Amino acid sequence: MSLNLEYYDWLIVEDGFHPEKNREMESIFSLGNGKMGQRGNFEEAYSGDSLQGSYIAGVYYPDKTRVGWWKNGYPDYFAKVINAINWIGIDILIDGEKLDLAKCEIIDFRRTLNMQEGNLERKFSVKLPNGNIVSVQSIRFLSIVDTSAGAIKYSIKAENFEGEISLIPYLDLDVKNEDANYNEVFWEEEHQEISDETAMILGKTKKLDFRVCSAMHSEIYKNGSQQEIPAENIKKPKYVATTYKVLLKQNEELSLYKYVINNSSLDHPLSDIKKNTSSQLKYVVKKGFEQMLREHKEAWAAKWRESDIKIEGDTAAQQGIRFNIFHLYQTYTGEDERLNIGPKGFTGEKYGGSTYWDTEAYALPFYMSTAGKEVARNLLLYRYRHLGKAIENAEKLGFKNGAALYPMVTMNGEECHNEWEITFEEIHRNGAIAYAIFNYIRHTGDTGYMADFGLEVLIGISRFWSQRISYSGDKQKYVMLGVTGPNEYENNVNNNWYTNTIAVWTLEYTLQNLKSLKKNHPEKYTALIEKLHFNPEKETSRWEDIIQNMYFPWSPEFKVFLQQDGYLDKEDVTVKDLDPDERPLNQHWSWDRILRSPFIKQADVLQGIYFFEDKYDTETIKRHFRFYESRTVHESSLSACVHAILAARINNMNLSYELYLRTSRLDLDDYNREVKEGLHITSMAGTWMTIVEGFGGMRVKNGMLSFYPQIPEKWVSYSFNVRFRGNLLNILVNEHIIITNKTGDKIKVLVFDKAREIEKESGISIHISSMNPAG
């Protein structure tokens, strides 16, 4: 389904209401501030198709796994990202008739997401069945300054009548998840109270006893003047509301200001949560809507100054990258190391959990370069804090001696994914966590992280690889059996090349850092091996043997690493042979047919080529890219960005640009026809990677930033900022590459492999066509 959204640099605009696309639009127009989020639902009642969604960061429910069989080690539950209190609700009655866009004649409708300023606006005019015509304008935002607060201004104008308007702002905790097993209700009410202008509900989740305290305050204005109107308070189980009735003449306008605070027990002790919520509500009400909105806009402006990517000459591309950056910052701010980046963020229920390997492989580079070292460090510390749980996860599967298997999906470090081929087999996730430590230290220069935290994680992961790998007498090599690689259109395969590769790399990297720690910090080395009961001689000798004798599937005919054993036994067809009407395959083919096909859901071998690019020459990269790109259907949101980066690396800019548009507009154009379930948040970081690492050719080499810039044919210019070891650089690419050292001391960078020094608050300019381009 095409969403047909208009192209703007800073706006996402739905012009005209299309009920059949409403769920998709609710995802697109979601808001968040890192602590909570809200789908783009209507404030007023809507009886048409909708997915109500309000989410509080870190609050979840362990929904009992529902399967017809059981296996040892299988997770007991699936962590649901649960729908929380409906705080945006405002029922509207016009002469007793409820405003409901599903039951009105819609005269005009426009919904606008302002990404520059961080707010959602709707304007519409409707004719009710009784003939009354009203115009409505609403604007709402979730403050990134007061991160417990949301605010709404809802205005209604009588166009052709005089009559009574009832405004009923409410809080409703009687909410459900569509994907709940057994139709479970997740919330219980512990407390409610209401006065003339203020109401509160304290809710508790079942099982884990998270508390969320929500309070609202409402003010009524008529033609711009505040009104003192008697209020009728309504109390029902899990529901509090206030009714305001106002006589409105033709062409008069009524406005409701609704302020809401949502606080969770993650941030407030239970003894203080009601008191803190009340005081915060008073604080934002005293500020007022306009001041809150102004501060919110200023905070977004500060974020954009450091993270914006500017593209001249291509509005579709510009809109796409800003949409992606906007939702990344709405989802995660890095201020709380207990939180992470869920694949749907605050935009839908699907997947559950807050953490996948997506964070380490895709999101970390974005936050590391745009938000800085501390934010990136918190993402790594999140995994360090869960190391004990990772060891428990491995123990459940029979591993011993401190082996660590990080979960595929988690909220608290415990595995909670409920598909066996993922839970037990998609173990390459361990490698992404090890790689993230390397990537972070390489970029930030924070070598202290390795000694203090990183090496402990690496040893746990390496112990897992050592036990998971077995020796084949037939091959006279070490092998890894029964795995699922990044390409989830294959299950239970032997010797997935990517998994074998990243396992061996992890062992090498761990050994390297053990030696370094022993040499440079012998006291820390001794303390670490004692803490972990680590036997250096016994354990590392096996690791070294695996490194020297690991098996990697290879095709002499095609001169490529094979995705796994037996891959060439599959039918020799490519994506161009597919019927377009059968795409996406996962919505048209049986799982059996998909598993037998040669088609690849996402980068698998190419994921390894991307991570370890320095090991391969350009011809090797070209050969692998051509072989696997022709067989990849890109039906994972994580796929196109890796292919786009490698396409730029081999100087295929037309294809790289095509893949960039696919990843940047994946949700805006609903490529995979699943936006109704929520957005693809973690893959959005891949859009940033495509421009910076793909078109900009940015790498870290020998402790320096390196650039091999290219520019898509359609673009006039593009620019981006990068934080690197205390410096903030701006990179502008047109016919030249212009690098400006905005903050920090003198820095040395590589441009087309030639070292250049840039003084503080100065810059360099190099003509691109005079240099040797990438590839």
| Catalytically active residues, by annotation | 488
Inter-residue contact 243 to 192 (CB < 8 Å): no
Sheet holding 239-248, edge to edge: 97-98, 90-94, 163-172, 239-248, 231-236
- Assign 487 to helix, strand or coil: coil
Cα–Cα distance, 465 to 590 (Å, whole number): 33
- What's 262's DSSP letter? E
Secondary element (H or E) of residue 100: none
- Whether 311 and 321 have beta carbons less than 8 Å apart is answered as yes
Query: With the C-alpha atoms ordered 314, 316, 317, 318, is the resulting torsion angle positive or negative?
Result: positive
Please give the single-letter amino acid code of residue 270.
L
d(Cα 385, Cα 411) in Å, to the nearest integer?
Answer: 12
3-state secondary structure of 270: coil
Q: Which helix (H) or strand (E) holds 68?
A: none
Nearest 5°: the CA angle 311, 315, 317 is: 65
Nearest to 80 by CA among 418, 488, 427: 418
Secondary structure letter of residue 753 according to DSSP = T
Helix or strand run (H / E) with residue 376 = helix 373-385
Are the C-beta atoms of residues 333 and 36 closer than 8 Å to each other? Answer: no
Q: Convert 494-512 to b/e letters by CB count within 10 Å (16 or more is b).
A: bbbbbbbbbbbbbbebbbe
**CA 520, CA 533: separation in Å to the nearest integer?**
21
**Whose structure tokens read 């026809």?**
673
Distance CA 192, CA 213 (A): 10
The values of phi and psi at residue 169, to 5°, are -70, 140
Q: How far apart are CA 561 and CA 683, in angstroms?
A: 26
Gap between the Cα atoms of 377 and 417, Å rounded:
26
CB 689 within 8 A of CB 368: no
The total of other beta-carbon atoms located within 10 Å of residue 186's CB is 23
- Residue 271 burial (CB count, 10 A): 8
The backbone region for 559, taken as left when phi is positive above 0, alpha when psi lies in -120 to 50, beta otherwise, is: left
Determine the straight-line distance between the first and last CA of the chain, rounded to whole angstroms: 37
Write out the E strands in 660-775.
Answer: 699-701, 704-707, 717-724, 727-733, 736-743, 747-751, 754-758, 763-767
Q: Which residues in 729-738 are b (16+ Cβ under 10 Å) and which e?
A: bbbbbbebbe
What's the CA gap between 506 and 461, in Å, rounded? 8
Residue type, position 94, single letter:
I
Q: Which amino acid is at 764?
A: I
Measured CA distances, 499 to 73, 371, 603 (Å)? 21, 30, 12
Nearest to 97 by CA among 148, 166, 25, 159: 166
Please tell me the chain's helix, strand, coil percentages from 3-state DSSP, rounded to the nearest 5: 35, 25, 40
Q: Cβ(170)–Cβ(241) under 8 Å?
A: yes
